[in-house]
């Protein structure tokens, strides 16, 4: 029996203390998504903070240290279609719980690295976990619970990724310096289990199974617009075959892939470049990262607001342009904290494209 059939049989939602029925359960889904994005942010952004300690411990060069990111990007591309089938067959709760368990296990394995092959293995396990509990699964679930407010809901969820850069990365650097990188990785895995598993249990597939409507509306049709007129909410449902036949799917897929390729390449080397290339203290490099992540917060919120009111292709295009400018700015950055703070500010302002991408993919695929 699939999770969806089980939910149709029970038709009950978990009772959240102090909330009850006063808050639409879709916002609980968004909160769970924020936690998931925080954990994914720890894995993605925190990875680069381990490269310096790994270089000092094993003497591996930058090419070897960055190698797992290239391998795992291919792994993520292969995993994407599999995640879609798992969501349809098992439901988001089971998929995310599996991902959280695997992610925690990957962090613990990372703490026991003693050879190059184990370094690659632990990295692949971490990426498998982040994929199963990551953005695709969570955004699909959020898109099921929202229609009119999809973009702002996804923007709020994505704040968890920014919070990982604001809080998680500096904390990881502190722990790596004070107790060691191995202990930091093992502790991260335990925290992922303790925090992520209970949150994942709150996920539910879609509101209709519980007699609710997306956005918490009383009716899917005949919603009141701002001037008192009745409007109809139209939702498009494409099969996989139909999606693959549209130009929109390929534009979004190729554009997102190219953007993520550039972002991933720059991100994986940035912390190590600050630390070893420019000679920054690890605490200073963590501060630069924190400033960049702080600038990402308003960009995601603005993207959520604009994405519900403006053409999303223009928003995504402008955000990508901002990211490209930041890359050119990096070439002219010397060993200056201010210079890199400006560069990262421009880079992370491209964050307002992410919520638009998630709504676009949600409308095309689910």
- Tens of pLDDT along the chain (366 residues) come to 455 554 444 468 877 776 767 788 899 999 999 999 999 989 988 888 898 899 889 988 888 887 777 766 665 666 666 777 788 788 889 999 999 999 999 999 999 999 999 999 999 899 889 888 888 889 889 989 998 888 888 888 988 988 998 899 999 999 999 999 999 999 999 999 999 999 999 998 888 888 888 887 776 444 454 444 444 555 555 665 766 677 776 776 676 666 666 666 666 667 777 777 677 788 888 887 787 778 777 777 776 666 666 666 666 677 677 666 666 665 565 555 555 555 555 555 555 555 454 555 544 444
223 forms beta bridges with 231
Please identify which residue in the block is written with the tokens 């368990």: 101
Measured distance CA(100)–CA(190) in Å, rounded:
11
Please identify which residue in the block is written with the tokens 């990188």: 181
Contact in structure between 187 and 76 (CB atoms under 8 Å): no
Backbone angles phi, psi at 233, to 5 degrees: -90, 120
Measured distance CA(213)–CA(321) in Å, rounded:
37
* Strand ranges inside the chain, DSSP E: 223-224, 230-231
Measured distance CA(98)–CA(94) in Å, rounded:
6
How many residues belong to the chain? 366
User: What pLDDT does residue 118 have?
Assistant: 93
User: What pLDDT does residue 91 have?
Assistant: 86
> What tokens does 187 get?
């502790």
Helical pair 25-47 and 116-132, crossing angle rounded to 10 deg:
160
Measured distance CA(261)–CA(250) in Å, rounded:
16
Which residues make Cβ contacts (< 8 Å) with residue 330, sequence separation at least 6?
266, 343
Phi-psi region of 222 (alpha: psi -120 to 50; beta: other; left: phi over 0): left
User: What pLDDT does residue 115 have?
Assistant: 92
Closest CA to 365 of 282, 248, 206: 248
Residue 26's Cβ-count burial label (10 Å; 0-12, 13-18, 19+) is buried
Closest CA to 13 of 1, 2, 27: 27
Closest CA to 264 of 71, 122, 69: 69
Please identify which residue in the block is written with the tokens 């394995």: 109
User: What pLDDT does residue 216 have?
Assistant: 79
Measured distance CA(323)–CA(327) in Å, rounded:
7
User: What pLDDT does residue 201 have?
Assistant: 92
Q: CA angle, corner 18, sides to 198 and 22, nearest 5?
A: 105
User: What pLDDT does residue 364 have?
Assistant: 44
Collapsing DSSP to helix, strand or coil, 282 comes out as helix
User: What pLDDT does residue 14 have?
Assistant: 79
Domains and CATH numbers, the chain: 3-10+20-216+238-365 (1.20.1250.20)
User: What pLDDT does residue 6 have?
Assistant: 47
Please identify which residue in the block is written with the tokens 């993919």: 361
């Amino acid at each position: 029996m699939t999770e969806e059939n089980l939910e149709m049989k029970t038709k009950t939602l978990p009772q959240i203390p102090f909330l009850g029925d006063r808050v639409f359960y879709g916002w609980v889904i968004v909160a769970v998504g924020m936690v998931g994005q925080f954990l994914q942010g720890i894995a993605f952004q925190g990875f680069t903070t381990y490269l310096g300690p790994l270089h000092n411990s094993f003497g591996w060069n930058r090419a070897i240290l960055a190698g797992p990111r290239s391998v795992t990007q291919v792994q993520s591309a292969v995993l994407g279609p599999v995640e879609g089938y798992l969501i349809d067959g098992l439901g988001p709760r089971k998929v995310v719980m599996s991902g959280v368990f695997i992610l925690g296990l990957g962090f613990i394995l990372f703490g026991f690295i003693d050879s190059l092959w184990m370094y690659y293995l632990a990295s692949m396990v971490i990426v498998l976990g982040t994929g199963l509990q990551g953005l695709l699964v969570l955004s699909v679930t959020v898109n099921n619970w929202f229609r009119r407010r999809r973009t702002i809901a996804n923007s709020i969820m994505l704040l968890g990724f920014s919070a990982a850069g604001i809080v998680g990365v500096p904390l990881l650097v502190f722990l790596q310096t004070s107790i060691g990188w191995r202990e930091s990785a093992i502790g991260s895995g335990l925290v992922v289990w303790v925090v992520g598993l209970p949150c994942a249990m709150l996920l539910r597939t879609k509101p209709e199974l519980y007699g609710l409507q997306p956005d918490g509306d009383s009716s899917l049709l005949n919603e009141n617009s701002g001037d008192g007129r009745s409007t109809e909410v139209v939702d498009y449902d494409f099969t996989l075959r139909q999606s693959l036949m549209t130009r929109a799917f390929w534009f979004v897929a190729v554009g997102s892939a190219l953007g993520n390729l550039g972002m991933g390449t720059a991100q994986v080397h940035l912390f190590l470049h600050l630390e070893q290339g420019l000679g920054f203290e690890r605490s200073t490099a963590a501060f630069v990262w924190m400033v960049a992540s702080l600038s990402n917060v308003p960009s995601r919120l603005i993207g959520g607001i604009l994405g519900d009111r403006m053409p999303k292709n223009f928003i995504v295009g402008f955000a990508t342009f901002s990211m490209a400018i930041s890359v050119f700015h990096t070439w002219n950055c010397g060993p200056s904290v201010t210079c890199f703070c400006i560069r990262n500010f421009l880079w992370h302002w491209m964050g307002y494209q992410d919520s638009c991408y998630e709504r676009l993919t949600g409308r095309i695929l689910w």
